[in-house]
Amino acid sequence: MPQLGETVAEGKITQWFKSAGDAVKPGDNLFEIETDKVSMEVPSTTAGVLAEIRVPAGEVAPVGAVVAVIADGTAASAAPAAETRSKPAPSSAAAPAARPAPMAAPVAAGEPAAAAPIKLDPFFEVRTPQRNYGPARLPGGRSVTPLARRLAAEGGIDLGTISPSGPHGRIVARDVEAAARAARKAAPRPAAAPGVALGSGPSAEDVKALYRDVPFQEVPLDGMRTTIATRLVQAKQTIPHFYLTADVEIGRLISLREDANAAAPKDSDGKPAFKLSLNDLIIKAWAAALQRVPAANAVWAQDRILRFQRSDVAVAVALEGGLITPVIRRAEVKTLSAISNEMKEMAARARARRLTPDEYQGGSSTISNLGMYGVREFSAIINPPQATVLAVGAARRQAVEKEDGGVAFASVLSVTLSCDHRVVDGALGAELLAAFQRFVERPVTMLV
């Protein structure tokens, strides 16, 4: 199972494109995996025969687990390691199989990994990593994935009481979640009037009891919705949010957009090389503001603050059943046309769940724009470990007072900056929002 980012501990194999015994060559897609964020196909990087599939479609495997074995063209199969599921012994009449290369031994968290055999595909055998994100060992020889360990720590669950269901006897996230549900169900509950939900976390059965006479459909949580729920609850419970709102005139920004689109070069078919949106210009202005106020271009890292020299701006993209935040790297130095084309391409792949982890992880700040839905203003929740998120509302025409005391109509939009008070104080947040306002109202200043 390939490493799909530092925060991804396991993946679900949704389908195999090859069967045991099929010949494969470099570039052939072998299987498709799904995590809480993306779905992607994994290709082979070597030629040979798919001798054995150890994790079938529909099962979850932790990062680093051996999911299949590719033998060279002369070998019909490879013997499974001691930890893998057993296979029937070959018939004595069958030709003897080539002796398989030794498997890499399981590695405890924090220990260096041993070198892996060179004949197996690197997607399927654990190689010597730069960093080890594999499962940690528990007393008694059992192992636990990093995500399961974190969930157990957050929920106060004793890992020693959990029965593992993951490959090779590992404790995975679903085991911890099942133990937490069982603990909640077994815990004594104070008496209450019938139909009254207790506390902030009533069980599913308690909630369903409130609507016993109302038709409803149960929608199980998928990985993305579970991750969103976990992270947002964590953000609201652990991050001291405060909010700053400002009205920004965008008349000059709209004029710049119209002039740029009119001047865009066209190809032989008459198609323009780019078409700027208002959101593209907002990304550029936010990147410039983070450069102007570098103390706010930072994230929270528990015992320290990390400040960045470049502006990597994450942009919220709505998906069916959730959202994802692809990151425009080095947005402060990119042209408006480059930002526009990159944003459109990444948004399309995000909706198809084809982003790679390095394309949506990280970022020093996030933009969430609901203006296209007619929302005037809103407050967004910070995406940890980031310290700021800019919520952008819909543009509107309203009367404003001119410098000479007269009244005129102007195009205005409201923006709300959510700040983590541990990183960004009130005055610093106000300075960042004011810098953004200046770049939007005088857009030529962010282009020089």
Question: Catalytic residue numbers?
Answer: 421
Tell me how far apart the alpha carbons of residues 328 and 220 are, in angstroms, rounded to a whole number: 33
Q: Report the distance separating Cα 253 and Cα 392, nearest Å.
A: 15
* Alpha carbons 271 and 264: distance in angstroms, whole number: 9
Amino acid, single-letter form, for residue 271: K
Q: How far apart are CA 136 and CA 142, in angstroms?
A: 9
**List of residues 6+ apart from 314 with CB closer than 8 A:** 325, 326, 327, 328, 360, 362, 363, 365, 366, 367, 383, 386
- Which residue is it, tokens 């009533």? 202
Q: How many CB atoms lie within 10 A of CB 214?
A: 7
Burial class (CB in 10 A: 0-12, 13-18, 19+), 309: exposed
CA-derived radius of gyration, the chain: 27
Q: Positive or negative, the Cα torsion across 158, 160, 163, 166?
A: positive
User: What are the residues whose beta carbons fall under 8 Å from the beta carbon of 395, sequence distance 6 or more?
Assistant: 250, 254, 278, 371, 411, 412, 413
Give residue 406's identity as a one-letter amino acid code.
G
> Which pair of structure tokens corresponds to residue 42?
């994994």
Alpha helices by DSSP H, 332-385: 336-351, 357-360
For residue 324, CA distances in Å to 6, 280, 346, 355 come to: 16, 17, 11, 9
Q: How many CB atoms lie within 10 A of CB 160?
A: 10
Q: DSSP letter at 405?
A: S
